[in-house]
Amino acid sequence: MTDYEVIIGLETHIQLNTVTKIFCSCKADSWFDPPNTNICPVCTGLPGVLPVLNKSAVEKGALLAAAMHAQLRPLSFFDRKNYFYPDLPKGYQISQYDQSLAFGGYLDLPMPASAGRPAYVRHVGIIKLHLEEDAGKTKNVGGERWTDFNRCGVPLVEMVTGPDLRSADEAAQYLIRLRQLLRWIGVSEADMERGQLRCDANVSIRPVGATYLNPKTEIKNVNSIESVRDAILKEVERQIREVEAGHKIEAWTLEWDEDKQVLRKMRSKETEADYRYFREPDLLPIRLTEEWKAEILSALPELPLERRQRFMDAYELPEYDAEILTSERRLSDYFEQAVLAYRGDPKRVSNWLMNEILRMLNERGLTADALRLTPTYLADILRLVDSGQINTSTGKSLVEKVEATGKSPQQIVAEEGLAKVSDDAAIRAVCQEVLSESPKEVEAYRAGKQTLMGWFVGQVMKKMRGKADPTLARQILEELLS
């Protein structure tokens, strides 16, 4: 049996999170709004209206292009893509064709180690990146076709990868990394279920070692990363089955049925449609001056994969920690601020973040920047533990208390008397009490059952409600029992 290589290219549509639409002043996001409530003469294509470009869409598009390492064009143009559809009120979509906002670009996709394969990096090239307006939505309701124009004119970036992905897992990883990046640089909410990140997958197979490309099928209507993976796996299976049976793969367009987990044929792809592109005469070209470009790029942060690497190099964090801490920009900022304030071992900050802080964020549905427990307070707590002023479990409870009250850790320790008792005499008294109350255990210990020491310490701690310095308690107990 032949071994096959899977060839995948992804075509994504990214909804930019501008306040208003790309060519009018209607509200851009209508997820929570009833149909046809965020519309105006411009986005519904009434006779005589003209588009006016929303600068913010250009800025967000340019930021994304830069984050994808694409080249920004100093001069780019809008073009009309002409076709008929009821959800397209002008009968053409304003898009960009041959001179789009940016060209080139790539994402170096880290693939984690998996069964039988070490970790590796997949270089994914970007072959198309342009701005365009979204169309509306139609649905069939009891024999009628209903149209919702709310989405008309919502700004999109269309971004297409080369046929560079080699498995369903890589495709899923690409989308995970893209979603992370979009949120990280703040250009899109990138929620696939809300259509803010949409993906069509082009899939073909070829014998391992071949360099040609076979006809591909296009999978549409997949609205989660899991579905993209499942749909590709199903399609690869089908293609292998067909080829093994001696059939040819035809260039179909397939639709993913989420409920039934099956692919359905939408249409055969005959010849490419002719959209009769020509320059949009109602809009001026986009002139991205050096000044404007510099202003836009000044908002470009360190990218998640770069930061992940830096956390591993500079803070000597394990890859696992670095991955989690850079999953989201505000969390990674929090981590770094805490490390800076703490000045101790970054791994210790990481441990606390990944255990205590992440749990709190998840439970409360918060982002790191919204915490009352600031990075400085977290560093304070760590230092209190390190210096022996409080023990670890007190430290952990402090995390909750600071978040609940907004008070500084020091203040809470003082007010609640949480500091460890390091007074030799006070601990000695409790130790004697414990020993006199436990004659059997004392006898057993003296007979050689040394492991009981932990139990004695525990009893002391219990009596002192955790405030005793356990090291000191052990010393005193050993002295009294010897």
Compute φ and ψ for 452, nearest 5 degrees. -70, -10
Indicate which single residue of 284, 300, 370, 426 sits in contact with other proteins (rule: CB under 8 A).
Answer: 284
CA 300 vs CA 19, 54, 395: distances in Å = 20, 20, 37
> Torsion over CA of 315, 321, 324 and 325, rounded to 10 degrees?
-30
**With binding defined as CB under 8 A, does residue 283 bind other proteins?**
yes
Instruction: Please tell me the count of residues contacting other proteins according to CB under 8 A.
Output: 28
**With binding defined as CB under 8 A, does residue 21 bind other proteins?**
no
Indicate which single residue of 7, 43, 126, 378 sits in contact with Zn ion (rule: CB under 5 A).
Answer: 43
Indicate which single residue of 7, 22, 26, 222 sits in contact with Zn ion (rule: CB under 5 A).
Answer: 26
**With binding defined as CB under 8 A, does residue 242 bind other proteins?**
no
Among the listed ranges 38-46, 290-298, 396-404, 427-435, the one in contact with other proteins (CB under 8 A) is 38-46
The number of residues in the chain equals: 482
The site map against other proteins for 50-79 (x = CB under 8 A) is xxxx--------------------------
Question: Residues with Cβ < 8 Å from 459, sequence gap 6 or more?
Answer: 434, 438
Q: Which is nearer to Zn ion, 40 or 251 (CB)?
A: 40
Q: Which helix (H) or strand (E) holds 244?
A: helix 225-244
Instruction: Please tell me the count of residues contacting Zn ion according to CB under 5 A.
Output: 5
Site for Zn ion in 385-444 (CB under 5 A): none
DSSP 271: S
Residue 100 CB, shortest distance to other proteins, in Å, is: 18
- Judged by beta carbon distances under 5 to 8 A according to partner kind, the member of Zn ion, other proteins, none in contact with residue 284 is other proteins
- Judged by beta carbon distances under 5 to 8 A according to partner kind, the member of other proteins, Zn ion, none in contact with residue 26 is Zn ion
78 with 90: CB under 8 angstroms? no
Residue 265 CB, shortest distance to other proteins, in Å, is: 20
CA 238 vs CA 208, 221, 233, 242, 245: distances in Å = 17, 18, 9, 6, 11
**With binding defined as CB under 5 A, does residue 57 bind Zn ion?**
no
Q: Which is nearer to Zn ion, 42 or 129 (CB)?
A: 42
Q: Which is nearer to other proteins, 147 or 376 (CB)?
A: 147
Q: Which helix (H) or strand (E) holds 393?
A: helix 392-405
**With binding defined as CB under 8 A, does residue 342 bind other proteins?**
no
- Judged by beta carbon distances under 5 to 8 A according to partner kind, the member of Zn ion, other proteins, none in contact with residue 43 is Zn ion
**With binding defined as CB under 8 A, does residue 410 bind other proteins?**
no
Count CB-CB contacts under 10 A for residue 1.
Answer: 5
318 with 293: CB under 8 angstroms? no
Nearest C-alpha neighbor of 350 from the set 391, 309, 321: 321
- Strand order through the sheet with 79-82: 92-95, 79-82, 278-279
Residue 48 CB, shortest distance to other proteins, in Å, is: 4
Give the CA angle between residues 453, 455, 460 to the nearest 5°. 95
**With binding defined as CB under 5 A, does residue 28 bind Zn ion?**
no
Indicate which single residue of 37, 41, 359, 369 sits in contact with other proteins (rule: CB under 8 A).
Answer: 41
Strands (E), 106-261: 106-111, 120-133, 137-141, 144-148, 155-161, 197-207, 217-222, 252-257
**With binding defined as CB under 8 A, does residue 118 bind other proteins?**
no
Site for other proteins in 81-100 (CB under 8 A): 82, 84, 86, 89-92
Distance, CA of 459 to CA of 430 (rounded, Å): 9
Binding site for other proteins (CB under 8 A): 41, 44-53, 80, 82, 84, 86, 89-92, 145, 147, 274, 276, 278, 281-284
